[in-house]
């Protein structure tokens, strides 16, 4: 067992997209654990768009990461020492363990157990992790699809969107994806089995969307806000359910962006629009992960992963999410 703990820490606060030189590597002693804590040996680290917000000047849902802090990150790792009665050496856990080799954690930092599914550990940071859970609860609790419904998904080739569309399709829905570029459109159709997919980079999507949704739109899983959102609303059916999962197309909320008023669409169509956070459903993670794992095993829920090897790849990894270089859920293997 190695006796140092390498950590990636925040060296400078980025103005825009975080780049490699906003971070640095340092070596620290392996932490001691207090009563009730565990020592985790990280195996796989996650790279997430949310990281940009975590280190931005303005706070989000989370406390801001300060200069000098080890970078917050979701990770999957193994318990190598435990002073907590619920967790034993060898348990595989997922939690906020940071971009580092080792983490001394309390049970509050643990999201769920990764072991038991018989599927690769990496999935617990993707399709059996927050991506899959977000898709699961957004579709089942907010979009509430019924067989025969048409469901539209934005960022459809991404980790959340691709799962959301496939889950809706399992329910018997016609699923239409909106993604950026011909390659992602192809993935939606060929890999994720969507009924139709539209390239928003090819121009305004209104006409293509209307053509792809001849029966109107009953459910909308929205990761983007902005022009895509505004193209969907005029096409919703009576009783449509719109899940607000993210606002990726909005680069800044200062000044607050304007858009076509939604109220009349919602009123005339007796439709609902609802924001949700996956963490509000924490009590149901086990149920959801069990269902998702079953669908991965039976082939009805497919996913894409991309691995970087080594902790030294972490500093430059976030920018890959924004320059189109990555292809699938981005992970760093450090075992």
Site for its own copies, rule CB under 8 A: 61, 222, 225, 229, 244-247, 250, 253, 256-277, 280
Closest distance of CB 140 from its own copies, Å = 15
Picking from 168, 135, 138, the residue whose alpha carbon sits closest to that of residue 151 is 168
CA distance 294 to 311: 31
Sign of CA dihedral 112, 50, 320, 152: positive
CB of 256 to its own copies, least distance (A): 5
**Minimum distance from CB of 61 to its own copies (Å)?**
7
Least Å distance, CB 220 to its own copies, is 11
Distance CA 91, CA 72 (A): 21
Measured from the Cβ of residue 236, the count of other Cβ atoms closer than 10 Å reads 26
Give exposure, 72-110, as e/b (b: 16+ Cβ within 10 Å). bbbbbbbbbebebeebeeebbbbbbbbbbbbbbbeeebb
> For its own copies, which is the closer residue by CB, 216 or 316?
216
Considering beta carbons, is residue 264 or 297 the nearer one to its own copies? 264
Quick one: 6 or 269, whose CB is closer to its own copies?
Answer: 269
Contact assessment for residue 171 and residue 146, using Cβ atoms and an 8 Å cutoff: yes
In whole angstroms, how close is the CB of 19 to its own copies at the nearest point? 26
3-state class of 2 per DSSP? coil
> Which residue, chain included where needed, has tokens 């931005």?
56
Q: How many CA atoms lie within 13 A of 255 on its CB side?
A: 2
Dihedral of CA atoms 115, 156, 256, 279 in degrees, nearest 10, equals -20
**In 11-124, at which residue ranges do the beta strands (DSSP E only) sit?**
23-29, 38-46, 74-82, 92-96, 102-105, 110-113
Q: Toward its own copies, which CB reaches closer, 42 or 134?
A: 134
**Shortest Cβ distance from residue 269 to its own copies (Å)?**
7
Nearer to its own copies, 201 or 270 (CB): 270
Q: Looking at beta carbons only, is 25 or 262 nearer to its own copies?
A: 262
The nearest distance, CB 181 to its own copies, in angstroms, is 24
Residue number, 106 or 270, with CB nearest to its own copies: 270
Contact status, residue 333 vs residue 308, Cβ threshold 8 Å: yes
CB of residue 232 to its own copies, shortest distance in Å: 12
CB of 120 to its own copies, least distance (A): 31
* Contacts for 179-188: CB closer than 8 Å, 24+ residues apart: 179/155, 181/324, 184/156, 184/157, 185/157, 187/157, 187/162, 187/304, 188/156, 188/157, 188/162
User: Cβ closer to its own copies: 44 or 151?
Assistant: 151
CB-wise, 34 or 283, nearer to its own copies?
283
């Amino acid at each position: 067992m190695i006796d140092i703990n390498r950590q990636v820490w925040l060296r400078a606060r980025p103005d825009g997209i975080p780049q490699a030189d906003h971070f640095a590597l340092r070596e620290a002693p392996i932490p001691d654990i207090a009563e009730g804590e565990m020592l985790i040996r990280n195996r796989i680290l996650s790279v997430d768009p949310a990281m940009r917000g975590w280190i931005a000047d303005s706070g989000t849902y989370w406390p801001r990461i300060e200069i000098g802090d080890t970078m917050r990150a979701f990770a999957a790792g193994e318990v190598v020492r435990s002073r907590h009665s619920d967790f034993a050496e060898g348990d595989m856990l997922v939690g906020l363990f940071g971009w580092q080799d080792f983490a001394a954690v309390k049970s509050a930092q643990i999201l769920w157990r990764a072991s038991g599914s018989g599927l690769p550990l990496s999935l617990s940071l993707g399709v059996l992790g927050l991506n899959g859970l977000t898709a699961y609860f957004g579709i089942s609790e907010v979009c509430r699809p019924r067989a025969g419904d048409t469901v539209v998904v934005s960022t459809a080739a991404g980790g959340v969107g691709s799962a959301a569309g496939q889950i809706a399709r399992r329910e018997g829905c016609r699923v239409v994806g909106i993604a950026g570029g011909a390659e992602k459109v192809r993935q939606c159709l060929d890999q994720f089995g969507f009924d139709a997919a539209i390239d928003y980079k090819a121009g305004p999507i209104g006409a293509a969307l209307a053509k792809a949704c001849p029966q109107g739109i009953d459910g909308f899983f929205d990761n983007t806000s902005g022009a895509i959102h505004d193209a969907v609303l005029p096409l919703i059916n009576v009783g449509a359910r719109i899940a607000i999962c993210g606002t990726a197309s909005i680069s800044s909320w200062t000044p607050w962006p304007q858009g076509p008023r939604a109220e009349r669409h919602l009123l005339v169509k007796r439709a609902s629009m609802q924001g949700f956070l996956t963490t509000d459903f924490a009590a149901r993670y086990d149920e959801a992960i069990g269902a998702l794992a079953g669908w991965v095993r039976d082939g009805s829920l497919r996913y894409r992963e991309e691995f970087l090897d080594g902790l030294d790849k972490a500093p430059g990894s976030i920018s890959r999410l924004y320059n189109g270089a990555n292809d699938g859920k981005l992970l760093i293997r450090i075992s």
